[in-house]
Chains A and B, each alone.
Chain A
Amino acid sequence: DAGVIQSPRHEVTEMGQEVTLRCKPISGHNSLFWYRQTMMRGLELLIYFNNNVPIDDSGMPEDRFSAKMPNASFSTLKIQPSEPRDSAVYFCASSSLGTTGENIQYFGAGTRLSVL
């Protein structure tokens, strides 16, 4: 299994530009999570989806952030316009309860975003 795949691994952009982060979950997983990690705030859940439907977006910082999951194998997190304070590592994770009912999340390698 290839695991959760995120792209790009690194993104450097200028303030005001649109940024799109991409995620391919593990095949067969029906939950997908977007996290942000910074030194100051630690690991924060931004939004998560069950069966492609957003369930909880209370962690999305503001209207500049949006996330979509058009199908079971792809999700995007978009920031428009980007600001320097958005600089962080963004992780995507996926999970499936499966037959054992264990709620284990599997993480991608992350996208390191720098907004200048």
Chain B
Amino acid sequence: GNSVTQMEGPVTLSEEAFLTINCTYTATGYPSLFWYVQYPGEGLQLLLKATKADDKGSNKGFEATYRKETTSFHLEKGSVQVSDSAVYFCALSGHRAGNNRKLIWGLGTSLAVNP
């Protein structure tokens, strides 16, 4: 079945450091891939997405590229800020979701950015 494996946290960085959070997946066909972010005390919100191989999703300085050859969707940011402190979730939606709207979730990676 479909699955998502996400880098374990917590990750602690200094402000302006480079961030990578690894995410790999197992799926049949051509899934869509997502990164969601959860700020303290809030619900999850979509950060970025990619729907086909070699697509690059980007938002708020974060980027992730859909790599079918390595079944990966790693999240990167060149210079993190204290305000990026949050939990990041990688997720997958099956090929042609149709009536199956479930997302397959990673366990989440907690990021703390120190001033």
Does A31 belong to the interface (CB within 8 Å)? yes
Q: Is the CB of B101 within 8 A of A110?
A: no
Does A34 belong to the interface (CB within 8 Å)? no
Residues of A within 8 A of B102 (CB): 45, 48, 56
Residues of A within 8 A of B105 (CB): 42-43, 45
Smallest beta-carbon distance A37→chain B, Å: 9
**When chains A and B are docked, how far (Å) is the Cα of A105 from the Cα of B102?**
9
Partner of B108 from A31, A43, A56 at Cβ < 8 Å: A43
Q: List 18 A-B contacts (CB under 8 A).
A: A4-B43, A33-B101, A42-B105, A42-B108, A48-B101, A55-B101, A56-B102, A102-B32, A103-B32, A103-B93, A105-B44, A105-B101, A105-B103, A106-B45, A107-B43, A107-B44, A108-B43, A110-B42
A sample of 20 more A-B contacts (CB under 8 A), given A43-B105, A93-B44, is: A31-B101, A42-B105, A42-B108, A50-B99, A50-B101, A55-B101, A91-B44, A95-B101, A97-B98, A97-B101, A101-B96, A101-B97, A102-B32, A102-B49, A104-B34, A104-B46, A105-B46, A105-B101, A105-B103, A106-B46
Interfacial residues, chain A to chain B (CB-CB below 8 A): 4, 31, 33, 42-43, 45, 48, 50, 55-56, 91, 93, 95, 97, 101-110
Interfacial residues, chain B to chain A (CB-CB below 8 A): 32, 34, 42-46, 49, 51, 89, 93, 96-103, 105, 107-108
